[in-house]
Amino acid sequence: MIGGQHVRDVTIFFTLYLLLSLGPFVVLNRDVLSELSETVATNTVAFAVGGTALLAVVSGLFLASEGVDRYNQFLFAPTDFLSIMVEASFIIAAISWWLVPELSMRLETPLATDTTLFVILLCQVPMVLFLSLMTAVGKA
């Protein structure tokens, strides 16, 4: 059974991630978002894929609730070098959604969409590894 603390931990983790990633992305990419919203509104497959992905991520966070709890502790009370690394991995993962395309445009080295997504997903790896390790330690 999922308790109130697990719901709170997942909500804090997910909300903080969205604030760091989605907020700046929306501000920096208003023109892209209008095209994307039209595509999603007219393409039920894109809507279904997006909804399924969101459901999978949130479900995964509930399954990894022990790790999410530990991650939140590291985020809000860094005490040593390891906790700072965990916090940095979270911040890098969140801001990569808008920072990678922005750097690509500012450096005038346009990346292909698949390359941009690959770099963004690569930035997620440290956070996912730390989350997996902290979940394993919490379950052990």
pLDDT tens figures, 54-107: 888 888 888 888 888 888 888 888 888 988 998 999 999 999 999 998 888 888
Helices 44-63, 65-76: axis angle to 10 degrees equals 80
Rounded Cα–Cα distance for residues 37 and 20 (Å): 21
Given this model, what pLDDT does residue 139 score? 66
Q: Calculate mean pLDDT across residues 123-137.
A: 87
Contacts for 106 with CB less than 8 Å, ≥ 6 apart: none
Other Cβ atoms closer than 10 A to 82: 11
Contact in structure between 116 and 78 (CB atoms under 8 Å):
no
Counting beta carbons within 10 angstroms of the beta carbon of residue 130, is it exposed (0 to 12), middle (13 to 18) or buried (19 or more)?
Answer: buried
Given this model, what pLDDT does residue 1 score? 47
Rounded Cα–Cα distance for residues 97 and 138 (Å): 29
Given this model, what pLDDT does residue 96 score? 93
CA-wise closest residue to 64 among 15, 129, 19: 129
